[in-house]
């Protein structure tokens, strides 16, 4: 008989054969496998329990159908870097901002397009007096709205003299000067001429905005802007003009471009709402002073019902809402991308002119509108991979790649 080796530090003790020890006060009775420990009965007699002792593959929760463990069983999720999630969130926020900016720019362009129709109802009202009333009422509304914001009107007190000079240039070129140039052009040219020339603003912005930031213009965005301009030409038609009418139309285009480019550095300290309000204050003062100087007390008179309605429309939707929407759009998209939406101005003007009997909507207007839409879509696709400079983060003039406001209407 072979002796059983003695247990050691690396050898477990051998099992002891013989009858099981009797239950004691500290030892519970041992039940047979498969039997109820309390009664000792077999709840399922005849069941072959050996299958439960057969070895099989390990089972995990992920092998159970219908059970999902987010972040654990999905491949690549558990070890995804935190920076990836942050980048995805920033990309989604940028996409939302771009959509909001496009919507704001479209709203502003459509409203400004209606201003040409409203101006046709003010042909007999003193021009400078009407502009003074328009910008004065708009300034009051904008400043009341700005005062309700957390910063209130405090940023205005911090403006330096050169910033006030910028505001004066904005009003002189893009507001009072722009409208005066359009009115002067229409004296010797058909209305389509200044409309087509001013419709070149998207191309001008696509070229000048990057140059002022000391970078090369995007060829794809410039091409899309040229398509928008072509659509505006088709919508408006060319019309007849003389040298004076063409010259004033070019001045109107220059005022349109100067307004947005001069306003760019003022967005960070003021914001869209307060900047629009300050510009309207200066514009109202300039228009009234110039009107008093040229026409005396005749600069103002009591408007008729239709003139009053046109003045209210010009002051509130076209100035308050459209100016704020445009500044906010450029703050999100930059002047190049927002400028593409200016192509909606002649489309809006052509669509609303039949409402007051000053134009018709025909095949040319519809075809031109489709060209404008194609140019805008091409520009948006071209800019998706480009660099977007937000307010206060750019270089040069576009420390805020911000505002290109329409002085139009």
- The predicted structure's pLDDT at residue 92: 82
**How many whole angstroms separate alpha carbon 119 and alpha carbon 69?**
64
* CB-CB neighbours of 245 under 10 Å: 21
- The predicted structure's pLDDT at residue 289: 97
- The predicted structure's pLDDT at residue 391: 42
- The predicted structure's pLDDT at residue 324: 96
With a cut of 50, which residues of the chain have pLDDT below it? 1-2, 51-52, 60-64, 66-74, 77-79, 387-409
Write down the domain spans for the chain. 102-399
- The predicted structure's pLDDT at residue 401: 37
**How many whole angstroms separate alpha carbon 279 and alpha carbon 169?**
9
User: Alpha helices of 264-395 — where are they, by DSSP H?
Assistant: 267-295, 305-315, 322-333, 335-340, 344-352, 363-383
- The predicted structure's pLDDT at residue 261: 84
- The predicted structure's pLDDT at residue 23: 53
Contact between 394 and 213 under an 8 Å Cβ cutoff? The reply is yes
- The predicted structure's pLDDT at residue 393: 39
Which of left, alpha, beta for 396 (phi over 0: left; psi -120 to 50: alpha)? Answer: left
**How many whole angstroms separate alpha carbon 40 and alpha carbon 32?**
7
To the question of pTM greater than 0.85 for the whole model, the response is: no
Tokens 């010259």 -> residue = 247
- The predicted structure's pLDDT at residue 215: 87
- The predicted structure's pLDDT at residue 402: 36
Residues 6 or more apart from 376 whose CB is under 8 A from it?
224, 228, 340, 341, 343, 344
């Amino acid at each position: 008989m072979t002796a059983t080796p003695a247990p050691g530090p690396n050898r477990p003790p051998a099992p002891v054969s013989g009858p099981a020890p009797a239950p004691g006060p500290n030892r519970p009775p041992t039940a047979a496998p498969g039997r109820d420990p309390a009664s000792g009965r077999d709840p399922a007699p005849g069941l072959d329990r050996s299958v439960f002792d057969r070895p099989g593959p390990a089972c995990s929760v992920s092998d159970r159908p219908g059970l999902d463990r987010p972040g654990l069983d999905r491949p690549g999720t558990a070890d995804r870097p935190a920076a990836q999630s942050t980048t995805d969130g920033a990309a989604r926020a940028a996409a939302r901002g771009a959509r909001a900016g496009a919507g704001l720019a479209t709203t502003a362009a459509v409203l400004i397009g209606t201003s040409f129709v409203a101006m046709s109802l003010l042909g007999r009202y003193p021009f400078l007096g009407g502009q003074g009333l328009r910008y004065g009422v708009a300034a009051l509304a904008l400043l009341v709205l700005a005062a309700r914001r957390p910063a209130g009107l405090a940023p205005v007190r911090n403006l330096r003299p050169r910033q006030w000079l910028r505001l004066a240039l904005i009003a002189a070129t893009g507001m009072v000067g722009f409208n005066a140039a359009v009115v002067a052009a229409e004296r010797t040219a058909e209305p389509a001429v200044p409309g087509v020339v001013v419709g070149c603003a998207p191309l001008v912005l696509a070229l000048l905005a990057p140059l002022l930031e000391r970078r090369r213009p995007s060829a794809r965005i410039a091409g899309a802007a040229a398509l928008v301009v072509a659509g505006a030409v088709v919508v408006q038609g060319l019309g007849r003009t003389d040298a004076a009418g063409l010259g004033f139309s070019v001045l109107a285009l220059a005022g349109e471009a100067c307004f947005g480019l001069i306003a760019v550095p003022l967005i960070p300290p003021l914001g869209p709402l307060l900047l629009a309000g300050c510009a309207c204050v200066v514009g109202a003062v300039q228009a009234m002073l110039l009107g008093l100087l040229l026409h005396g007390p005749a600069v103002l008179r009591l408007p008729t019902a239709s003139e009053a309605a046109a003045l209210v429309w010009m002051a509130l939707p076209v100035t308050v809402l459209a100016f704020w929407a445009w500044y906010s759009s450029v703050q999100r998209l930059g002047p190049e991308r927002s400028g593409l939406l200016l192509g909606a101005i002649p489309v809006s003007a052509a669509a609303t002119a039949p409402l007051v009997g000053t134009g018709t909507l025909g095949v040319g207007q519809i075809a031109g509108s489709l060209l404008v839409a194609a140019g805008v879509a091409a520009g948006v696709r071209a800019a998706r991979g480009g660099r977007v400079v937000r307010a206060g983060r750019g270089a040069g003039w576009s420390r805020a790649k911000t505002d290109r406001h329409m002085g139009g209407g």
